[in-house]
Amino acid sequence: MAFTSVKEIIKEPPAFTQLTDLAAERLGGKVLYATDDFFAEKENLIKPGRGIFITDKYTDRGKWMDGWESRRKRVPGHDWAVVQLATPGRITGFDIDTNFFLGNHPPQASVEATYINNTDPITNWENATWKEILPKSHLDAGSQNFYQSNSSELFTHIRLHIYPDGGVARLRVYGEVFKNWDAVSANDEVDLVAAINGGKAIACNDMFFSAMGNLIMPGRGVNMGDGWETKRNRTPGNRDWVVLKLAKAGMIGRIVVDTCHFKGNYPDSCSIEGCTADNNEEVINDKNQWLMILPAQKLSADHEHEFVREINENTGITHVRLNIFPDGGISRLRLFGKIIK
């Protein structure tokens, strides 16, 4: 009889994993507290990637692990950690990833959430008003564990409980960014496509080397992997593209295309089209009329390119399509403009 090892377990990621990871460190999430992180720091929970394993790496406290790991509990109770989301949001689902935690993963976990405007007065996180949004649920070892949230309320913080102790490599909290657009005037310039404001990368023709969602993350890319990069294409006249949904319909007045870290593999040129659409499906299926917002512009290596005068008149834009010719990598895309009230 053949057996499947823990490492070979494969789970199909659910649709909600295409949403924004509201807890991501690079988006601005923070791990504020943990009852115990003796073996591995709580901050690892929200770092990029699934975590790595280095066979012979140890610390003075034991085996080095790329995740959050508490010591073996010898008293009643269980361990938990508090995460501040990068932005208020409505949570759709979770990935509680125990990657490489095989003999030391928690058998179960649960999640609570709360909305807090000001955390300064909080001295004891147990006294916060928590609502359970994921009841105690089974965790497989060395595996991504996907679960849906049972609440669509607005939250700012979550509390991950593990029973009774052990290690979790990564925690992903997928959902929809909430931004109070009533507080933004029609004259304010905002990055209409930024993930922190609610922008999303929804489709592309290729992301062989790195993910399209990196384009709209905060800051400049930390390396080539922290951008959108397509494979080499030898087809004459090739065009690679990515479609992004703006956080709010608006008028684009300034564009930044950043090829940070892309030196021998930046695109020769790029262009940007825009459209107005009621839903993502019609845009993905190319059933809309595209307007040329930024005609083809030459790009250079490892450089922030800013365009203002080159932008064509536009208004009410809900989606954009970034085209690169013929292929390559772009670190960040910024679309600054004014919202349509």
**253-285 as b/e, with b when 16 or more CB fall inside 10 Å?**
eebebbbbbbeebbbeebbbbbbbbeeeeebee
CATH topology of domain 6-177: Jelly Rolls (2.60.120)
- In single-letter form, the type of residue at position 293 comes to I
Q: Is the pLDDT of residue 3 over 60?
A: no
208-233 CB burial, b ≥16 within 10 A, e <16:
ebbebbbbbbeeebeebebbbbbeeb
Cα 107 to Cα 40, 44, 62, 278, 316: the distances in Å are 18, 20, 21, 44, 50
Read off the pLDDT of residues 202-237 as tens digits, 9 standing for 90 and up. Answer: 999 999 999 999 999 999 999 999 999 999 999 999
pTM of the model: 0.92
CATH topology identical between 6-177 and 181-339? yes
> Three-state SS for 46?
helix
Residues 12-33: what's their mean pLDDT? 96
- For residue 208, the model assigns a pLDDT of 97
**Is pLDDT above 60 for 9?**
no
In the chain, where the domains are located: 6-177, 181-339
The pair of three-digit structure tokens given for residue 188, joined into one six-digit string: 């304010």
The upper half-sphere exposure of residue 310, i.e. CA atoms within 13 Å in the direction of its Cβ, equals 15
User: From residue 83, how far is each of 20, 28, 248 by CA, in Å?
Assistant: 16, 11, 27
Q: CB of 181 within 8 A of CB of 197?
A: no
Q: Which of 251, 326, 275, 317 is nearest to 296 (CA)?
A: 326
Q: 293 — alpha (psi -120 to 50), left (phi > 0) or beta?
A: alpha
Which whole number is the average pLDDT over 294-314?
98
Residues of the chain with pLDDT > 70, as a percent, come to 97
CATH of 181-339, one of 3.10.350.10, 3.40.50.1580, 2.60.120.260, 3.40.1280.10: 2.60.120.260
Confidence band for 1, pLDDT divided at 50, 70 and 90? very low
Q: Which amino acid is at 137?
A: S
| 3-state class (DSSP) for residue 302 | coil
Q: Which residues pair with 132 in a beta bridge?
A: 112
| Distances in whole angstroms, Cα of residue 62 to Cα of each of 70, 71, 297 | 11, 10, 54
CB 262 within 8 A of CB 229: yes
Tracing tokens 């409980």 back to the chain, one arrives at 161
pLDDT of 104-163, one tens digit each? Answer: 999 999 999 999 999 888 999 999 999 999 999 999 999 999 999 999 999 999 999 999
Q: Would you state the pLDDT for residue 166?
A: 98
